[in-house]
Amino acid sequence: MRRRDFLRTTAGAAGILAAPRISRAADSKVLRFVPQANLANLDPIWTTQYVVRNASALMWDTLYGVNDQLVPQPQMVEAHETSADGKTWTFRLRTGLKFHDNAPVLSKDVVASINRWMVRDSSMGVGIKRNLDALEAVDDRTFRFRFKAPYPKLLFALGKSSTPVLFIMPERIAATDPFKQISEYIGSGPMTFKKDEWVPGSAATFERFAGYEPREEKASWLAGGKRINFDRIEWKILPDAATASGALQNNEVDWLETPLPDLIPLLKKSPGISVDISDDLGNIGVFRMNHLYPPFNDERARRAVQIALNQADYMRAVVGDDEALWKLLPGFFTPGTALYTEQGGDYLKGPRKYDEAKKLLAEAGYKNEPIILLVATDVSITKAQGDVTADLLQKIGMNVQYTALDWGTVGQRRASKEPPDKGGWNIFHTWSAGADCINPAPYTGLDASGPTAWFGWPKSDKVQAKIAEWFAATDLATEKTVIGDLNQAAMDDVVYIPTGFFKGYQAWRKNVTGIVKAPFPVFWDVSKT
Amino acid sequence: MLAYLIRRILATIPVVLMVALFVFSLLYIAPGDPAAIIAGDQASPEDVERIRASLGLDRPFLVRFFEWLWQVMHGDLGTSIFTNLPVSHMIAQRIEPTVSLMTLTLILSLSIAIPMGVIAAWKHGTWIDRVVMMVAVFGYSTPVFVVGYLLAYLFALQLDWLPVQGFTSITEGLIPFLRNLILPAVALGLIYMALLARITRATMLDVLSQDYVRTAKAKGVEQKGILFVHALKNAAVPIITIVGIGFATLIGGAVVTESVFAIPGLGRLTVDAILRRDYPVIQGVVLLFSFTYVVVNLGVDLLYTVFDPRIRY
């Protein structure tokens, strides 16, 4: 081949390669979405991972669903009645409900789904099960709860967005052991799951289910008419944040659920891309101490850290200098929600008290023993919090042992009740979605029941009493009073220390409209031109 | 030859078994807990424990190892803890992108690096030699992910010629296939090209100083014939050896390249499985990689006989 022929051929080939692609993915009836994480399975009861909950919300419908005011609204249910003593709740399903195999949704499916969910939902389901006399299918469209004692928060339990969500599955699938994964994906929601196109770690595809009948009401979060404007929603798993941003800029995907904060300035400058806060309920940073062993089995040692901890340091480390993204949080509940309170939050306000902290540590008998700080260095939020904590503990004279691990290992080690020097731990960090901190029901981290509490095993009778009072409360005014006292008690006993409130961004191409702020991606009413 | 082949194939069995035992032991002692990941951050310790029990992760090491080995001997690599899909199915889903990437990388690398090395040796000591060696040093010392990001930035984001990420099967057409794979193949191939070009140059320099090359020149054989017929054939054995050894580098590089370019291949499957502690998947993929490596090296040994008839087995 002559040199000129070779160059001509090469240039021609390059031109063909560079030609714009015409593909099904470019269709306005296909939404290309990049989720926060890999969709490795699709059983929203077996696992409580948010990404699974988010995919499941496309596939399965719920009896009730919280709207953007966090109020549960009827979804698959047409109406309900409550007995005068508040112990019996009778529900009637709406007509036209179908599973993806076109079988009708019946009460027996609902009862089986509730039974499986109750076992795994430690925030509310387990409590409901304990309080239950009977759960029964009265007829094909009617089912009934009979409680031993009134349970006023039932509708919230049936419609909450915190994991595990009570999704309704066919009876045969819901009969699966709650600790084993389902293998058949027959949904009751607006989209079907294309199992044959599922490549875990790469792609998951959902197709519109023609048999789904949305409610008449306008959609709002998990409530209302879930109208899907796409034939297909393609989830593309792009684990590398820079690649995901590049794919959005290059029009290879339409919507990024969680773009990397560092890349937000770049995306904001990119033509054709919109960037906005993803969820006003945001997240709460968590500083979790092990209450079983010294020094943090002593309230004075926990208090020492609490009065020295500067939330601004944590928040700047987690989300940077963009002050639209974070705020101080002298409380446990999500800012901007009905039950938010700062009662008892003075410990976290004002100048930090390092000298007083040192004094308290001495009073607690701390003698420079190593403090095992578990830091998941592969997760930016926990890594940032861990770095600030290492600095804080040194400032108050503690001998910190920074233990760098990956999240999988932290997940294992934090479950250890062994002493810190024998494979246990003293401190680890995580964060909670603000949607899970709106009240005590889904708030696992606030449970202070001791051995059965969440990792760290805090024990506070005052806190537990207030949580029980909240569950029994029947009006908002009473709830607010109780929550104020609960916040105070949890601050006094230092159940854990919130490190601040922070939000994240989402980004999408400007030809996509209808994206709303929510604790999970809401696909209904989104469209693309 | 046939006896040698059979001996070598039989020899792969203990090698693969040793790898299997090593990987299984490593995973057993490594920290991390898939049950905690499945249960999620807000799960109670009791739930995590029950999930662990339901997955059989609380059983003794030897019971789990021999059960897995028995499955493997029956052609069953097990089921993924997370996806509930057979590991063989997950590998089958992922094998085409990885094989495609590695094949294209090999073709690119061999077709560029060997002529580069030959030319550098031929023009030894000239500016051409120095440029080739500079490129080789650059290629060898630049991390794959840096090259990957730079290529994606230039050719996808700035010039808008190629996609940033993804994979298209060759069954959907050669052009879409190449559009997706050309940048990853260049990124992954750079280090391999550098290695091959350097070895080719060094070996060719040695061969070109041999008496028979001088004789060929004296007999008036043209330069092209000397380089590619006489010299390169005799330099082939060390080059082929490096091709075989470099295969392991290629596997390691594929893990990074597939992550940067979001190619749904075995490399990403491995990374995802390790991060989640999906033990059956890790074991299956490592077993496959080790078996492939053994087979590639067997192929390399057999190729020696083609290029050097003095070698007999």
Name which of A413, A415, A389 is nearest A401 in CA terms. A389
Cβ–Cβ of B262/A445 closer than 8 Å?
A: no
Residue B303 near chain A (CB below 8 Å): no
Cβ–Cβ of B262/A236 closer than 8 Å?
A: yes
Per-residue confidence band for A474, with pLDDT thresholds at 50, 70 and 90: very high
Q: Which chain B residues have a beta carbon less than 8 Å from that of A408?
A: 31-34, 36-37, 275-277
Cβ–Cβ of B83/A41 closer than 8 Å?
A: yes
Q: Where is average pLDDT lowest: A146-150, A306-310, B247-251?
A: B247-251
Task: Give the separation between CA A243 and CA A246, rounded to whole angstroms.
Answer: 5
The alpha-carbon gap from A355 to the nearest alpha carbon of chain B, in Å, equals 34
Q: Which chain B residues have a beta carbon less than 8 Å from that of A415?
A: 33, 36, 45, 48-49
CB < 8 Å from B in window 381-440 of A: 405-409, 411-415, 430, 432, 436
- Is there a contact between B194 and B137 (Cβ–Cβ < 8 Å)? yes
What count of other Cβ atoms lies within 10 Å of the Cβ of residue B228?
13
Question: Which of the two residues, B44 and A100, has the higher pLDDT score?
Answer: A100
Please report, as a single letter, which amino acid is at residue B34.
P
Per-residue confidence band for A5, with pLDDT thresholds at 50, 70 and 90: low
The alpha-carbon gap from A47 to the nearest alpha carbon of chain B, in Å, equals 5
Phi, psi angle pair for A132, to nearest 5° = -95, 135
Q: What is the pTM of this model?
A: 0.88
CB < 8 Å from B in window 37-96 of A: 38, 40-41, 46-50
- pLDDT, tens digit, for every residue of A227-253? 999 999 999 999 889 999 999 999 999
pLDDT the model gives residue A20: 47
Residue B93 near chain A (CB below 8 Å): yes
- pLDDT, tens digit, for every residue of B49-87? 888 888 888 888 889 888 988 998 898 999 999 999 999
Cβ–Cβ of B275/A16 closer than 8 Å?
A: no
Task: Give the separation between CA B24 and CA B47, rounded to whole angstroms.
Answer: 26
Checking if the pLDDT of A458 tops 60, the result is yes
Start-to-end CA span in chain B (Å): 5
Per-residue confidence band for B261, with pLDDT thresholds at 50, 70 and 90: very high
Per-residue confidence band for B10, with pLDDT thresholds at 50, 70 and 90: confident
- pLDDT, tens digit, for every residue of A313-365? 999 999 988 888 999 999 999 999 999 999 999 999 999 999 999 999 999 99
In B, minimum Cα distance to A411 occurs at B36
Cβ–Cβ of A238/B165 closer than 8 Å?
A: yes
Residue spans of alpha helices (H) in B40-173: 45-54, 61-73, 87-122, 127-141, 144-151
Q: Which residues contact A518 (CB under 8 A, 6 or more apart)?
A: A68, A221, A278, A279
- Is there a contact between A234 and A30 (Cβ–Cβ < 8 Å)? yes
**Buried b / exposed e along A77-110 (16+ C-beta atoms within 10 A):** beebebeeeebbbbbbbeeebbbbeeeebbbebb
In B, minimum Cα distance to A413 occurs at B32
- Is there a contact between A304 and A311 (Cβ–Cβ < 8 Å)? no
Closest in A46, A50, A407 to B38, CB measured: A46
In B, minimum Cα distance to A162 occurs at B42
- pLDDT, tens digit, for every residue of B126-138? 999 999 999 999 9
Checking if the pLDDT of A23 tops 70, the result is no
pLDDT the model gives residue B38: 83
Average of pLDDT values for B294-313?
81
Cβ–Cβ of A240/B260 closer than 8 Å?
A: yes
Cβ–Cβ of A408/B259 closer than 8 Å?
A: no
pLDDT the model gives residue A238: 93
Q: Which chain A residues have a beta carbon less than 8 Å from that of B37?
A: 49, 407-408, 411
Per-residue confidence band for B228, with pLDDT thresholds at 50, 70 and 90: confident
Per-residue confidence band for A6, with pLDDT thresholds at 50, 70 and 90: very low
Question: Which of the two residues, B11 and A204, has the higher pLDDT score?
Answer: A204
Residue A120 near chain B (CB below 8 Å): yes
Checking if the pLDDT of B22 tops 60, the result is yes
Per-residue confidence band for A10, with pLDDT thresholds at 50, 70 and 90: very low
Q: The tokens 């490096």 sit on which residue?
A: B242
